[in-house]
Structure 1
Amino acid sequence: MINENDQLPSGTLTSKGELGIQHYDPKELFAKGRHIVFAVPGAFTPTCSEKHLPGYVDLAEELATKGVQSINCLAVNDAFVMRAWGESLGIGDKVRLLSDGNGEYSEKLGLASDTGAFGGIRSKRYAMVIEDGIVEHLFVEDDKQFDVSKAEYVLEQLS
């Protein structure tokens, strides 16, 4: 599993933008500055839709005062689902929604979870603060928990 003080590895994540599918290498995307990546088990799921993503949208400005340049939500869903999810919640451009379509990047980080018949390979619920490509903070939830990856907790750690 990736740890604090590790360099973020290369990989491929996507998003659906106005110009079509965009491809990102997280190692390059987060190479400069301070960024937050938080992961959810799935778009449109209750805790993810009602609390996790909205928390980061609500606290985006406060996180920016702590030097956070971008907030990014990762899920093992396709880019079309991620875009539809963001539109359904009206998040605007406060959080970039990143698709790890087949879970390959989550597995590379050691943060994948096999949920079996429920949904197959998904991401564990976590949040990480990345500074110049290095994992500064990593907060991984225990199964069925929602405490240390929420926006409020991350903001407290940056204060």
Structure 2
Amino acid sequence: MIERGSSLPSVPTKLVSADGFVDTTSDAVLGQGLVVLFTVPGAFTPTCHLNHLPGFLANLPKLKAAGVDRVVCASVNDHHVMKAWAEASGALGQIDFVADGNAALAEALGLAKDLSVAGMGQRFARAAMIIRDGVVDAVFLEDAPGVGASGAPAILMALEAGTV
């Protein structure tokens, strides 16, 4: 798993934003400024849709006030699903979405999780990162179901405490 002090890998991805879809790389999306990346197992899945994403959306003004330049959500879904989720959640244009359709970024970050038993195949583990200019400052990985360590309140507390 990627650790504090590690540089981000450069992996082809699709960025979903208010402007549409863009073929890009992970380091281009996440490598400038103070970025919070949170990763979810799947768009529209219950915990991701009802807890994880809404927490970041609700706390976006506080995160920005804490110096965050960009909040990005990544999932192993195609860009059409990610755009539909961004629109349905009201997050399009506020949070950027990375579609990692083949789990290449999940694997490069060491956050790939095999959810084949649930019929979902390779997915992201639920996690979050604070990234400064392409270097990981902190990784928050969930060790149980639900949203705790990787939720917006935990990230905000870490930023405000100056521990990262």
Q: TM > 0.5 between the two? A: yes
> Structure 1 length normalisation: TM-score?
0.94
Asked if 1 retains the 8 angstrom alpha-carbon contact of 2:114 and 2:123, the reply is: yes
Deviations 1:99-148 (A, max 9, x none): 00010110111100011142000000000000011000100111424210
2:19 and 2:46 mapped to 1: Cα distance?
A: 30
Residue aligning to 2:9: 9
RMSD: 1.4
Q: For residues 19 and 70 of structure 1, do their structure 2 counterparts lie closer, same or farther at Cα, with a shift above 3 Å needed? A: closer
Residue in 1 aligned with 2:99?
99
Q: Percent identity?
A: 37
Aligned to 1:110: 110
Name the counterpart of 2:74: 74
CA contact (8 A) 2:83 2:92 kept: no
Residue 37 of structure 2 aligns to a residue whose secondary structure is strand
Structure 1 139/92 Cα, relative in aligned 2: closer, same or farther at 3 Å? Answer: same
Kept in 2, the 8 Å contact 1:12–1:23? The answer is yes
Judged with a 3 Å threshold, the aligned counterparts in structure 2 of structure 1 residues 20 and 3 are, in CA distance, closer, same or farther, namely same
Count of residue pairs brought into register by the alignment: 159
Conserved 8 A contact 1:15-1:82: no
1:127 — aligned with what? Answer: 128
Q: TM-score, normalised by structure 2?
A: 0.91
Runs of 4+ in 1 over 2 A off after TM superposition: 15-21, 28-32
Deviations 1:63-112 (Å, cap 9, x if unpaired)? 01111000000000000000001111122311111100010110111100
Larger CA deviation: 2-11 vs 84-93: 84-93
